[in-house]
Amino acid sequence: MTYSTLEPSRDSGAPTELYYFESGGTHYAYTSADEDVIYSAITYAQEPIQRTAVEETPEIGRQSLKLTVPRDNEVAALFLAGPPTDSVTLTIRRLHRGDTDAVVIWIGRVMQVEFAELTATILGESILTAIKRPGIRRRYTYSCPHALYGHDCRVSQGDYLVVGVLTNVSGAVLQGAELAGFADGYFSGGYIQIYKNDQWHRAYITAHSGVSVTCATALPVAVGDTYNAYPGCDHTLDTCDTRFSNSANYGGFPWIPLKNPMGGATLY
């Protein structure tokens, strides 16, 4: 039978929901049923999940969702030390037991997780909220607006990769002997990534001095892990030219006149 036939039926319908989370190439699949469900070759593990209603409304802000799960839920655990480096997407499907016809009832991403004594509340934002956001606009500024290693920047991050082994981990501060081979601040504004437990963990580097880098968030890593570090950029023409030899692709306007010709000041 089809979903449209079973859904309105009081006798034949046996609705259940499938929750598919994905982050950094790793997926987590759960079902609200009282036993595991296999759908599209993926096993959805039984998990006590409660959610708020999915509303059909023109008000984008009301299309958010809250899921209540056990505190030790794997997806909730990703947010224990802070937001994960990769976004966490969520797709909810609804189907009837014994049937293979499922429909998507909600798509979005996890924004944050709130922890209580025994439960965790996963706060989801609908994918439709992105429609209401303004697009990125390039501004007439001194500094370069291009994302480092991005399409417009054109710097190849592989050319500046520094590989090393962590010698000390203290919260958000990581240390590696290989980092000392560069001037202080070389990695500030860059990022570090470490592959562990079948997943990449990345963090923005806020400061660099000697063998140490300070990350924006703590990573689930340990001494002996291999890291990839990439230098940062302060988006000035001098750094673009001296560090990356990339002034030809500099996107800022460093020669904007400091004096406004329309400001009404006396010229002579």
- Tell me the CATH number at 183: 2.40.10.170
Is 177 found in the same domain as 108? no
pLDDT tens profile 236-253: 999 999 999 999 999 999
In a domain, 204, yes or no: yes
* Strand (E) or helix (H) holding 238: helix 237-242
CA distances from 231 to 158, 159, 161 (A): 11, 11, 8
Task: Show the tokens assigned to 41.
Answer: 């070759």
Confidence of residue 138 (pLDDT cuts 50, 70, 90): confident
pLDDT tens profile 106-134: 999 999 999 998 999 999 988 877 666 66
Q: Which of 164, 38, 22 is closest to 99 using CA atoms?
A: 38
- 133 versus 223: the higher-pLDDT residue is 223
Return the beta strands (E) in 6-76 as ranges: 15-23, 26-31, 37-39, 42-46, 50-51, 65-70
Dist CA 94 CA 105 (whole Å)? 7
In a domain, 94, yes or no: yes
In a domain, 255, yes or no: no
Is 195 found in the same domain as 124? no
Q: How many domains would you assign to the chain?
A: 2
Is 163 found in the same domain as 123? no
Is 164 found in the same domain as 102? no
Dist CA 7 CA 15 (whole Å)? 7
Is 183 found in the same domain as 122? no
Is 29 found in the same domain as 111? yes
Is 101 found in the same domain as 203? no
In a domain, 209, yes or no: yes
Q: Indicate the residue among 111, 130, 149 that finishes a domain.
A: 130
Tell me what the mean pLDDT of segment 137-162 comes to. 89
Dist CA 205 CA 217 (whole Å)? 9
Here the CATH number for the domain that contains residue 76 is: 2.30.110
In a domain, 84, yes or no: yes
* Strand (E) or helix (H) holding 239: helix 237-242
DSSP per-residue codes, 182-201: S-TTTTTT-EEEEEETTEEE
pLDDT tens profile 7-64: 555 555 567 889 999 988 889 999 988 889 888 899 999 999 999 987 655 554 456 8
Is 161 found in the same domain as 100? no
Q: Indicate the residue among 115, 130, 145 that finishes a domain.
A: 130
Is 106 found in the same domain as 20? yes
In a domain, 148, yes or no: no
**pLDDT at res. 168:** 96
Is 115 found in the same domain as 38? yes
**What is the domain extent for residue 232?**
157-248
**pLDDT at res. 60:** 47
Dist CA 161 CA 164 (whole Å)? 10
Is 123 found in the same domain as 23? yes
Is 198 found in the same domain as 115? no
**pLDDT at res. 182:** 95
In a domain, 254, yes or no: no
Are 48 and 33 spatial neighbours (Cβ–Cβ below 8 Å)?
no
In a domain, 243, yes or no: yes
* Strand (E) or helix (H) holding 213: strand 212-215
**pLDDT at res. 29:** 95
Q: Which of 180, 146, 152, 153 is closest to 164 using CA atoms?
A: 180
| Residue 93: strand, helix, or coil | strand
**pLDDT at res. 173:** 95
